[in-house]
Chain A
């Protein structure tokens, strides 16, 4: 009787293993790519009635401006003896990704020559159609605030002062 028990047990194990044994297979898929460093500049705020803030293509509408009128939204107006100035600020944020740079240089320039008798300034520097450095130690991830002044001479023609400011950040 004892031998019977052993035989039955051995058989059961063999049968069981044969019944549940699953077939397996394996494979491999290689994933490749290249992580590239980048920085991203956004206009976070500006005087005027803005659009597109938080992106790299913001707009600011000032409406009609005059020496003895009211200041545009977000601006202050200062009247001088022979000119007048509207002032606000521009917030610019630069973020980095996959980059070991500690800071960046920020420049700005006008998209086109300003109207005669009109001067655009950022951070106290007069802007032209060539790059002007605003900072050479910009901190990533924080919004830098730069004063923005438009100085209009009393002799300037009453006309559109439309223009654009291009900001360029370069990692150091």
Chain B
């Protein structure tokens, strides 16, 4: 007969093993699809569900930053921002790691998120951040008294990666 039986023996064995491995790899997905909802929560959200939304808008204004005296030689202005990863949901649809970095720094100011000083490289702000649930973060803008006066602008880049 013509067909698989005519294939070299070594190649045929390889195809067989391949099939078995593929079946094994598909098993977890099949179980998730057929499992209960709690188990499905562990599935990583689709990338379209990871969009970052700042609930008060993409700009946070520190206002007029004025040193008020005292021994501290810097002025720290704090704001809170509320953000959400993905579309809103009543329960977390998985978790993600939230990182932030200074996308566009202002050389006169240091920026911290939840107490973490930002630089050019992303730093972890929150591990296991809930997807779909709003979280609040504290933004601190620290300006030394030696900095020149004038408008200040910086951009914080945020990255979300599913756990």
Contact = CB atoms under 8 A, between A and B. Distances in A.
A28 B11 contact: no
Contacts, number: 161
Contacts of A3: 10-11, 14
Nearest to B153: A32
Nearest to B73: A97
Which of A8, A28, A29, A33 has the most CB atoms of chain B within a 10 A radius of its CB?
A: A29
Majority secondary structure of chain A interface residues (helix, strand, loop or mixed): strand
Contacts of B134: none
A33 B146 CA distance: 17
Contacts of B160: 24-27
Which of A7, A30, A35, A98 has the most CB atoms of chain B within a 10 A radius of its CB?
A: A35
Given A25-B85, A27-B54, A35 B152 contact: yes
B77 interface: yes
A4 interface: yes
B60 to A, nearest CB: 6
A11 B18 contact: yes
A54 to B, nearest CB: 9
A160 interface: no
B51 A25 contact: yes
A97 B145 contact: yes
A98 B143 contact: yes
A15 B25 contact: yes
Given A24-B47, A29-B81, A31-B141, A36 B155 contact: no
Interface in A14-42: 15, 22-38, 40, 42
Interface residues of A, number: 34
Contact of B149 (A4, A35, A56): A35
B22 A11 contact: yes
A28 B51 CA distance: 11
B13 A28 contact: no
A30 B152 contact: no
A36 B11 CA distance: 76
A25 B47 contact: yes
A96 interface: yes
Contacts of B141: 31, 33
A115 to B, nearest CB: 33
A19 to B, nearest CB: 8
Interface string B64-88: 1111110000010100010101000
A40 B67 contact: yes
Interface in B33-81: 44-47, 50-54, 58-69, 75, 77, 81
Interface of A: 1-4, 7-8, 11, 15, 22-38, 40, 42, 56, 95-100
28 contacts: A4-B13, A7-B15, A8-B14, A11-B21, A15-B25, A23-B44, A23-B161, A23-B162, A24-B47, A24-B160, A25-B47, A26-B52, A26-B157, A29-B155, A31-B106, A31-B139, A31-B154, A31-B156, A32-B61, A32-B62, A34-B64, A35-B65, A35-B108, A35-B149, A36-B149, A38-B66, A97-B66, A100-B148
